């Protein structure tokens, strides 16, 4: 079932509340990087992807590789709300023996398509899956979400070259362009600009959108699917900590645990608990 419009923004609020509660309860985790990709995850899991939680390993399903694996709290929330596992499990983030560890593990978490967290690898993994799908005559798509900081990894650009060689038009990459990475601004650490021309020069179909607008994200994917013989990148302008005013653009929230009071404030800012 695909969901549109206001209902997607309601789901986004629920995911944000889950992220804050999960990290608070775990006493560890990455809330800022999770909040910047909420709309990308919502658009994918609640509208775009052809998946069925009842048949989580269906071979011809669409795939998602969360290359910035540290943002997994938001992915776990989406998977629970899609029915891959009980919502109750969200309370077990980062606990010993839990199915929800600090980075995604395909061997323990239903719905995770590939283990990730070692930054830079997602596009290469996604390309392998995309090429395999074509060889098997399947029509599914492989989506990858990368951070912007991780675009500094050399393997990203090896994958970018190879994807063009393999004409991987079933590979669609989202760049979470929030302009921050764990150690500071991307611009100061190792600048990426001009980002879109870089991808273009590697032979990719390129789009640039507001990464917090689900309608624009859905349109961008529709457009990407019309492109033949070229991989697609969607550069998503986002805000780290988006949706919780006191966290937005504050890089201290890259890996920080909200206090009891901060959690309470965050939930209020997101419309309060469900009645
Ligand atoms: Mg970033």
Greatest CA separation for the chain: 53
State the first-to-last Cα distance of the chain, in angstroms, to the nearest integer: 25
> pLDDT tens digits for 48-93?
999 999 999 999 999 999 999 999 999 999 999 999 999 999 999 9
Dist. CA 110 → ligand 1 center (Å): 26
Neighbouring residues of 171: CB distance < 8 A, sequence distance ≥ 6: 123, 126, 127, 130, 141, 142, 144, 163, 231, 232
CA of 202 from ligand 1 middle (Å) equals 22
Q: What six digits make up the tokens of 146?
A: 């990368």
In the predicted structure, residue 274 carries a pLDDT above the cut 80: no
| Ligand 1 centroid from CA 178, angstroms | 5
pLDDT in tens, 110-168: 999 999 999 999 999 999 999 999 999 999 999 999 999 999 999 999 999 999 999 99
Check residue 4 and give its pLDDT.
73
pLDDT, mean over the chain: 97
For ligand 1, the distance from its centroid to the CA atom of residue 150, given in whole angstroms, is 8
3-state helix, strand, coil in the chain (%, to 5): 50, 10, 40
Interval between CA 201 and ligand 1 midpoint (Å): 22
The answer to whether the CB of 40 falls within 8 A of the CB of 174 is yes
How far, in Å, CA of 45 to CA of 200, rounded? 27
Ligand 1 geometric centre to CA of 235 (Å): 12
Over range 92-99, report the average pLDDT.
97
What's the gap in Å between 122 CA and the centre of ligand 1?
15
Query: Cα(247) to centroid of ligand 1, in Å?
Result: 14
Q: What percent of the chain has pLDDT over 70?
A: 99
pLDDT at res. 161: 98
CA of 234 to the centre of ligand 1 (A): 15
pLDDT at position 275, please? 55
Which has the closest alpha carbon to 120: 90, 84, 158, 82?
158
pLDDT at 3 over 80: no
Contact 161, 202 (CB under 8 A): yes
- How far is 240 from 34, CA to CA, in rounded Å? 8
Å from CA of 205 to ligand 1 middle? 22
Architecture field, domain 5-52+61-269: 3-Layer(aba) Sandwich (3.40)
- For residues 87 and 56, is the Cβ–Cβ distance under 8 A? no
Distance, CA 182 to ligand 1 centroid (Å)?
A: 8
pLDDT (0 to 100) of residue 1: 59
Cα 261 to ligand 1 centre (Å): 26
Q: Which residues surround ligand 1, an ion (CB under 5 A)?
A: 147-149, 178, 180-181
Domain ranges across the chain: 5-52+61-269
Q: Are strands 171-177 and 142-147 parallel, antiparallel or unpaired?
A: parallel
- Separation of CA 148 and ligand 1 centre (Å): 5
Q: Tell me, in angstroms, the distance from the centre of ligand 1 to residue 199's CA.
A: 17
Q: In angstroms, what is the span from residue 143 Cα to ligand 1's centroid?
A: 18
């Amino acid at each position: 079932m695909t969901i549109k419009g206001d209902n997607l923004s309601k789901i986004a609020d629920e995911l944000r509340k889950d992220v804050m509660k999960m990290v608070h309860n775990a006493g560890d985790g990455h809330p800022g990087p999770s909040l910047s990709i909420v709309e990308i995850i919502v658009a994918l899991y609640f509208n775009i992807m052809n998946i069925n939680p009842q048949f989580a390993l269906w071979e011809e399903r669409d795939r998602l590789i969360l290359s910035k694996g540290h943002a997994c709290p938001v992915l776990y929330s989406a998977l629970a709300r899609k029915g891959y596992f009980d919502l109750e499990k969200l309370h077990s983030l980062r606990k010993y023996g839990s199915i929800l560890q600090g980075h995604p593990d395909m061997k323990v978490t239903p719905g995770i398509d590939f283990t990730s967290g070692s930054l830079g690898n997602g596009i290469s993994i996604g390309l392998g899956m995309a090429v395999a799908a074509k060889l098997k005559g399947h029509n599914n798509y492989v989506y990858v979400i990368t951070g912007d900081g991780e675009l500094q990894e050399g393997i990203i650009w090896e994958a970018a070259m190879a994807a063009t060689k393999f004409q991987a038009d079933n590979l669609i990459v989202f760049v979470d362009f929030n302009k921050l990475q764990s150690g500071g601004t991307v611009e100061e650490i190792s600048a990426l600009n001009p980002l879109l021309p870089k991808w273009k020069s590697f032979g990719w179909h390129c789009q640039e959108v507001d990464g917090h607008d689900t309608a624009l994200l859905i349109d961008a994917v529709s457009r990407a699917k019309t492109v033949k013989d070229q991989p697609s990148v969607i550069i998503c302008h986002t805000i780290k900590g988006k949706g919780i005013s006191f966290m937005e653009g504050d890089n201290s929230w890259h890996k920080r645990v909200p206090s009891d009071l901060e959690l309470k404030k965050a939930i209020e800012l997101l419309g309060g608990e469900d009645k």
